[in-house]
Amino acid sequence: MNDEQLLRYSRHLLLEEIDVAGQEKLLQSHALVIGSGGLGSAATPYLAAAGIGHITLIDHDRVELTNLQRQIMHTEKSVGKSKVNSGKEFLQQLNSGIQIETIEAKVTVALLDELLPSVDVVLDCTDNFATRHLINASCVQHQIPLVSGSAIRFDGQISVFDPRNPTSPCYACIFSPDESFEEVSCASMGIFSPLVGIIGAMQAAQAIQVQIGFGEALVGRMLLWNARTTQIDEFKISRNPECPVCGRAH
């Protein structure tokens, strides 16, 4: 690190769990953030501020006025712009010393196969089961840790799936890809604005923790946040040996 970086990240360097070695890991890391909406708007700025050296944003959507209630990476001037380009402008103003790459497209298996070999951690900030299963399967295949978050109405959840850990479940161990779930959206169900900030910030914290390797990440655990009661619940999740994605057949 140069003198400017030592000053910028000095509050991290004071933490013995991070220190110079941990900060250098972050500066050399590549995080892939899929989704630049509510969760992505909260998670990505903290990754950039913390010094993740390379961040790639994927989103096919454009900023709408209704997004501004919760998607704090975008402003009134961003309405009509692609979310990834709006996000890049915000992040570059936050930290000009890191690399921000944007991909304005829907996430596909082919795209993930191209990207994941150079990625260190993936943050799933999407809002539908089909995409989450696609991301999970690719992360399992490429052995990349996945930080998964979701939020709707007043309820949020977050977990970490790390295929490098032989005891870690994957997303499909909990939500089988063979089952059908009713898709719900913020447009039809509504969402409490700060909820995506809480879950998104937690996703950033977990991604940083996984990269540096301190403490206990949410591997094998799922955290549930109820914004109505300000209650946090946690339950343990186990790897399913018959999982169609990470089970013994694979």
Give the tens place of pLDDT for each residue, 69-128: 999 999 999 999 999 999 999 999 999 999 999 999 999 999 999 999 999 999 999 988
Cα gap 205→49, rounded to integer Å: 12
pLDDT single digits (tens) 122-157: 999 998 899 999 999 999 999 999 999 999 999 999
- Taking alpha carbons only, the member of 127, 107, 104 closest to residue 116 is 107
Q: Helix, strand, coil: what percent of the chain each, to 5?
A: 40, 20, 40
Structure tokens at 88: 């890049």
- Taking alpha carbons only, the member of 183, 85, 94 closest to residue 132 is 183
pLDDT single digits (tens) 175-188: 988 776 666 666 66
Cα gap 166→183, rounded to integer Å: 31
Cα gap 26→234, rounded to integer Å: 28
Q: Which fold has domain 3-236?
A: Rossmann fold (3.40.50)
Q: How confident is the model at residue 189 (pLDDT cuts 50, 70, 90)?
A: confident
Percent of the chain with pLDDT over 70: 96
Helix extents (H) in the chain: 3-8, 10-13, 19-27, 38-50, 83-94, 109-115, 129-142, 171-174, 186-189, 193-212
Q: How confident is the model at residue 248 (pLDDT cuts 50, 70, 90)?
A: confident
Structure tokens at 175: 């939500």
The pTM assigned to this predicted structure is 0.94
Domain ranges of the chain: 3-236
Q: How confident is the model at residue 31 (pLDDT cuts 50, 70, 90)?
A: very high
